[in-house]
Structure 1
Amino acid sequence: MENATYIYFRYGSKAVTQVDSTCLDMITINPSVTSEINAVAFIHRAIVAAIFLVFALVGLFGNALVIISVIVGRKLRTITNVLVVNLAFADFMACILLPFQSTGLLSQTGGYPLHETVCATVAAVGYISVCCSVHTLVAIAFVRWYVITRSIRGHRGLHTPKKIAIMVLITWIFSISFMVVPPVLGIGTFGYSTYYGTCSLTDTNELGDYFTCLQGTLIAIALLLTLMIYIRILRHVLRHNKQFREAHQNKASLSVSAGSRPPMIKAINRKEIEITKNLFMVVCVFMLCFLATVVNFIIPGTSVFTLYSTMILFANSIVNPIIYGLKHPNFQEVFNKILCCRPVG
């Protein structure tokens, strides 16, 4: 048929692949106009898809390196690093899913190229991994506070492998429960979003916004709680260092007095302080990555910025190993030995 134009669009559940030239007086086709199949322009989806693939390569390598380093490096086999491994594992899972997200972003058929169950699983695991990551940061902050405020007195309490393992288990149970149960009850549906081209929430469930609010609220509360714990750590360190200096001065002034004993106040381990600083940097990076999502949530309406803010949020999954490699001396040493194929002691 001469001058026949072939397009693809959806009408209900039926797909129409050919429009006769007699219909062209009713339908104006402009290749530069984005199809309603994916409301976000393909160029934006292609950019995000390419960046997701880069994130996947960097994140899988970096987080696997963190996990292997803690397993083989004796210096890194600490109780706190159990939670660091859990954080790396959650980020590793998120990075595994990114190629599947890129597949959906590059689709131009109005549907996910693979089976719908795959897309729903990718969405569910993605939400779970983000939720687990942020609540692992809360657990890390709590353990750092406990180590600095309690362990200097030789008190272990919660700071034991068994109890930290229970914290890890609770983190996963909490994340799975709050990220899976609502969609099971009909509050949001995991699947392919034809508007954004991602595996997240489908566009057809009107209650999806409530699930988005739930996730955002949980993350915001967790980050606020984490920040409050680190502020308490800072206040404790400043107050303790002041008491230590005063005790040291009293010792010098009272050394000539017989029978005088100044208060015995131990200095906080500087290594513990450095570890806490590095882990707080991880929290700050997560907050920056989450900030774009917060701004997008405040601004009404849907836009292409939602897609880019999601990309920025996933960027958090690749930066933690970089922070460890640049700032953490023990991780630096083990990273270098593994990458140089030298034995790790």
Structure 2
Amino acid sequence: MSTSSVTQDEYGAPGLMGLSNYGLSCCVNSLLQSFSATQEFTELLNRWQMSDTDIPEDCNTPLQLQRLLRKMQSDKSHTAHHEDFLRCLDRNHIQLYVQHDVDEVFLSILNLIQQQISDKELAQEIKQLYKITVEQNLQCQTCFYLTKDTSYFLSLPLPISDCSNTVENCIHCFFELQDITGNFCLCERCGERKPTKQGFKLVSLPNVLCLHLKRSGYSLRSGYTKKLNCEVKFPEVLDFQTILRRDQISESTQEEERKYDLFAVIVHCGTALFGHYTAYIKSSSDQSWNHADDSYVRKVSWKDVESTFGGSRRCAYMLMYQRRQDKMPQSSN
């Protein structure tokens, strides 16, 4: 894993601060680069002023994160040493010296912010920034009775097939009715457990859309979890208007801008049991792409980002998109 303090290469300073690697912290480092690149997130977190709390400073995740992100966005000419934040996570059961799943750490950090931030209204604003609201449907396959419930995700878990995929197809399949393999659900109309299909309809999208490509699968041959290194193509611009059918969108969904621009790609290199995370971050100032590999940061091209589609052990694991702020056209009604 990279431990170099270099933050500039032959392309010049890219405008990102490198992060030292402490005890397998590449997973957290990559997430920190994405948080730092999310302007709405940093603005919300900077609004918070710590008040009386029972949580000591060295265990207070939102406080330590606020301090670190301010450091990362100030002087980018050197590498940030962020032991305080990593040890704060360790005290909150995100252990140092342990290989972590980046999506699990992402959700854990957001949950810690909800639990520990003293301004609960502000905590809800941060949650809303990532909240994908869906209508969950269960359909009995005997009488076709349909039950509905509302739930949400903070990152959309996209199953992928062990062949060539596109993110658009993965999203489309996520919102299709699927058989619940080996599990019967209680049908209110039949009064007993019946074979059931489960599916989701989109209710609302957040300003920051996080997509988790589920690259873990079970190998019947080895009996262990394997990593799916298959290709998953993803676009720089994602348009939900062209991905989902009308019947995959809830009737309660309001008209809103559904175009998103990619700004962060978290990449995993290695196997399901051990590997290394890096992050590709798009600059908000000049729209260039930069690759952050712990403390080493360099400018790259979109072609370099495309190389993480998969097909080898180095592949994209999480994608982060920002909603376009264009206004929707007014309805004639």
TM-score normalised per structure 2 = 0.28
TM-score normalised per structure 1 = 0.27
More strand per residue: 2
More helix per residue: 1
